[in-house]
Structure 1
Amino acid sequence: MEIGCSSSSQCCTLISKCTVFPDKKSTLGDLKLSVSDLPMLSVHYIQKGGLFTSPPISIESLVALLKSGLSQALSHFPPLAGRLRTDSNGYVYITSNDEGVEFIHATATKLYICDILAPPDVPDCVKEFFALDRTVSYDGHFKPILVVQITELADGIFIGCTVNHAVTDGTSFWNFFNTFAEKSRGVKSISKQPDFTRSSRLISPVVLQLPKSGPKVSFSVNEPLRERIFSFSGEAIKKLKARTNKNKTVEISSFQSLSALLWRSVTRARKLPSTKMTTFRMAVNCRHRLEPKLDPYYFGNAIQSIPTLASAGDVLSRDLRWCAEQLNKNVMAHDNATVRRFVENWESDPKCFPLGNFDGASMTMGSSPRFPMYDNDFGWGRPLAVRSGRANKFDGKISAFPGREGEGSVDLEVILAAETMAGLGADSEFMQYVSK
């Protein structure tokens, strides 16, 4: 039996599928979805995972080890073993009812690690390393909130997690993934205990009205796209930051400098008219911005999307510093009052998040190079690379990952129309900073 995407050349074969339950019964009550959670009901599950070398144990021993580690980790994250529930008033909750998560063992033994890492474009076979392909988060009412898939390669292992995006954001996702790795390698007490409180301003009495059949994603899932990983060394990032901060007083961050570079280069590659308004969206973590502050490991979504607008003419005719300043102003202004204003605006017009590139001139930056994606040692070493599935990908979707070597290095997962990607790859301003 084959699994994965509907491409003509499937590479994964299903070996087994089972349900894994927490090793301790949940005592956690229902968790109400917040104004950051609810808009995510219309987007795909998060699909992220790590590529590893082969462990020095048999595959049977590995599967048993990971199932045990997963079971123990779920006891610290009981919502992931539950389901969504909508009450008679229309409020949506996570019920930690111990229904369990799905665990899949698959093989792709004709694939080698170099097949994943060597090509300039991310190969389609990577999409098969994840379950619940293109599943909308609302479906967590009747599907597992979490699915873990282990895929054997000829010379490696891929461990992929698919998690409901109305239940977790990137911070919560990677905290769970780190805990899963800790428990699998035998750590007794976990380092980062999740916080399940639901008492902040993000919890609202407003009901989100949803169609009976559930919401749908707001972008085309069949658009022909290219996907590449562009790597930037720590040294290249320093040079870029120095360029944006030359002879100026307000410091622009490394990430804002990199985002500005991408904004300019993609806008140039799209060959937009100078009067066309462009949008660069950045997801920001609100845990430390909201007053009183949320716990750093608050479980759930605590993110808001900041749009920065500028005409294509301004983006291209002004210097990199100007573009970075526009992003910096909006990020710096996103304080407690702004977070609360976002909440109030949503309450006055509750709706799902309109993800996509509706005008051909938008970019959306997600994930973060600060996420501990390489702090995942299941017992035989850190990942060689981090990759994602097909979820929530459209022209202009960018995800930022830390570089494996650390020291300020960054990887950008870039999704673009084929013609735009070709232009980006030939853009000298952009490519001078790219290491591979």
Structure 2
Amino acid sequence: MPSSSVTLLSQCTIYPDKKSTIKSLKLSVSDLPMLSCHYIQKGVLLTQPPYSIDDFIDSLKHSLSVALSHFPPLAGRFSTGHDGHVRILCNDAGVQFVTATAPHITLHSILSHTDVPPCVKDFFTFDWLISYSGHSKPLAAVQITELTDGVFVGCTVNHAVTDGTSFWQFFNTLAAICKGSQKLPKAPDFSRDTVFDSPAVLKFPTGGPTVTFNAAEPLRERIFHFSKEAIGKLKYRANRGELISQEILGKQGNDSWKTVNGDTNGKITSVTGNGNVLNRTDEISSFQSLSAQLWRSVTRARKLDQTKTTTFRMAINCRHRLEPRLDPYYFGNAIQSIPTYASAGELLSRDLGWGADLLHKNVVAHDDKTVRRGVENWEKQPRLFPLGNFDGASITMGSSPRFPMYDNDFGWGRPLAVRSGRANKFDGKISAFPGREGNGSVDLEVVLAPDTMAGLEMDEEFMQYVSEMV
């Protein structure tokens, strides 16, 4: 399916329906490193609207104008002051709105392919635009593409303005307004009095930074689906059978929980299936178990030397890790990257639980002190985020199955699928999405070199957990 099957029809600028009351927002220690990254590109596949496509476009334009009044930074531009600080000028300069058509592309043709069809990449605008370009380009864009029997709504947002949490808050607010919902998601928090606010200055080369990886390298991209049951098996295996009883926890297919029996030290404990006492902080989560399996299988598919050091890098949300906590709807980037290392030989010679435990301990240890130490280290040496796979042995996990990617309805039902564009794709880039059926299911968008992908597809240890998309 050639990507040229998508034809652009129109382009315009959408402005907020109300003037911004915020003058400017300084980019934080967590925002600035993203200036060399591409804009975020995520969108949803929908069935045909119950009214004409022209009516939907008009409705979406109006809804976007209203949504921008709730998110004024997205309608602004960057400005670097004499002090070297980069700020978002909330000047109501507007965002780009694009309409396109792909009359020969069906919903089935997108959903039935093993690999993500190339045409999906043309459902987004601002391809390969790095976030530093926000000094002159819009900080966000929306593209609607009409298909044979459906539509795709693609949203592109500057990565130095939002992380995944803020992106989906904006996207879901846009959908709620378009639907005519009286109850919108909670208003964003634009406060900047946080640990991420810093006097440190990040200096840029003349002309601005460039992306830190080869965006033109040959790649394959595939969505792997994991059911709740498959992930449960992975979690059981990673924990070596030492799982907290589902009945005791009252859990329903996810790792979030509020109140369970606590001991005198404040640690939450319960009885495992083998009758042993297990601290909640000792239990390897479902997502850590899945990540460890991917780490093992990709490393095996790459056929690395046993002494080669491999890296599994995870982006984590710091909002709830800080003390005091940031508002869950803090608008901006509040993420840090956790690298976990292991030699290829040791990772593959040991069981799944060994690698999963490495990931688990790293995540648990990333507390308030660790977040603040990361900020201090960056302030000593301000730098851009080095996105890419520089040694051929790295995996970078982004996004999250906890993001509310399917909690949007433009007026006639939930999305059929979530897809992403060309942005920030390189060998070893993984993005985690919730499965459409929810209930703890997960989709992994896996981007690998063609030979590595072929090896992964032959890896029985990995593929036994993969199931058909629902």
TM-score above 0.5, yes or no = yes
Matched, 1:329 2:323: no
Q: Does 1:378 align with 2:422?
A: no
| Residue of structure 2 equivalent to 1:227 | 221
- State whether structure 2 residue 379 is matched by structure 1 residue 347: yes
Q: Which amino acid aligns with 1:161?
A: C
Hey, what's the Cα distance between the residues in 2 that align with 1:138 and 1:129?
A: 22
Is 1:91 matched up with 2:85?
yes
- Quick check: 1:237 aligned with 2:269? no
Deviation at 1:8, TM superposition (A): 7.1
Query: Structure 1 residue 35: deviation in Å?
Result: 0.4
Alpha-carbon distance between aligned partners in 2 of 1:112 and 1:235, rounded to the nearest angstrom? 30
- Structure 1 position 146 matched with structure 2 position 140: yes
Asked whether the 8 Å contact 2:41–2:423 carries over to 1, the reply is yes
The one of 20, 27, 43 aligned to 1:26? 20
Distance of aligned partners of 1:51 and 1:9 in 2 relative to their CA distance in 1, 3 Å threshold: closer
Is the CA contact 2:3–2:120 (under 8 Å) kept in the aligned structure 1?
no
The 1-side partners of 2:347 and 2:418 are apart by 31
Larger radius of gyration: 2
Q: Are 2:444 and 1:433 aligned?
A: no
Match in the other structure for 2:174: 180
Structure 1 residue 246 displacement after superposition: 2.7
Counterpart residue type for residue 202 of structure 2: L
2:127 maps to 133
Return the alpha-carbon distance in structure 2 between the equivalents of residues 201 and 251 of structure 1.
Answer: 29
Q: In the aligned structure 1, how far is the partner of 2:31 from the partner of 2:145?
A: 30
Bigger mean CA deviation after superposition, 409-418 or 64-73: 64-73
Distance 1:102 1:30 in 2: 20
1:307 is paired with a residue whose SS is: strand
Counterpart of 1:159 in structure 2 is: 153
Which amino acid in 2 is paired with 1:257?
S
Residue by residue, what CA displacement relative to the aligned partner does 1:280-303 show, whole Å, maximum 9, x if unpaired? Answer: 000010001112211001000000
The alignment status of 1:62 with 2:56, answered yes or no, reads: yes
Instruction: Give the 3-state SS of the residue equivalent to 2:35 in structure 1.
Output: helix
Q: Secondary structure at the match of 1:10?
A: helix
Could you say which residue in structure 1 is the equivalent of 2:352?
320
CA distance in 2, matches of 1:207, 1:312: 38
AA matched with 1:276? K
1:408 to 440, 450, 453: 440
1:246-265 Cα deviation digits (max 9, x unpaired): 34442100000000000000
Identity of aligned residues (%): 69
C-alpha separation between the residues in 2 aligned to 1:310 and 1:191?
41
Q: Name the residue aligned to 1:388.
A: 420
- What amino acid maps onto 2:317 in structure 1? N
Determine the C-alpha separation between the residues in 1 that align with 2:88 and 2:311. 34
Give the match for residue 100 of structure 2: 106
Distance 1:247 1:376 in 2: 37
Provide the rounded CA distance (Å) in 1 between the counterparts of 2:63 and 2:449.
40
Shift >6 Å, 4+ stretches: none
Alignment of 1:270 with 2:302, yes or no, is yes
Given the alignment, which residue of 57, 61, 68 partners 1:74? 68
Counterpart CA distance in 2 for 1:410 and 1:211 is 40
Q: Which structure 2 residue ranges, 5 or more long, are not aligned? A: 243-277
SS of the residue 1:16 aligns to: strand
Residue type of the alignment partner of 1:193: A
- Is the CA contact 2:23–2:91 (under 8 Å) kept in the aligned structure 1? no
CA distance in 1 between counterparts of 2:433 and 2:359 reads: 19
Q: Does 1:48 align with 2:80?
A: no
Counterpart-to-counterpart distance in 2, 1:154 and 1:177: 24
Q: Give yes or no for the alignment of 1:15 onto 2:9.
A: yes
- SS of the counterpart of 2:194? coil
Confirm whether residue 421 of structure 1 aligns to residue 453 of structure 2.
yes
Give the stretch that moved more between structures: 35-44 or 17-26.
17-26
Deviation at 1:311, TM superposition (A): 0.1
Matched, 1:302 2:296: no
Asked whether the equivalents of residues 3 and 122 of structure 2 are also in contact (C-alpha less than 8 Å), the reply is: no
Partner of 1:4: none
Q: Normalising by structure 2, what TM-score?
A: 0.90
3-state SS of paired residue (1:102): strand
Secondary structure, aligned partner of 1:240:
helix
Displacement after TM superposition at 1:188 (Å): 3.2
Instruction: Kindly report which structure 2 residues correspond to 1:207-218, keeping only aligned pairs within 5 A, or say none.
Output: 207-218=201-212
SS at match of 2:366: coil
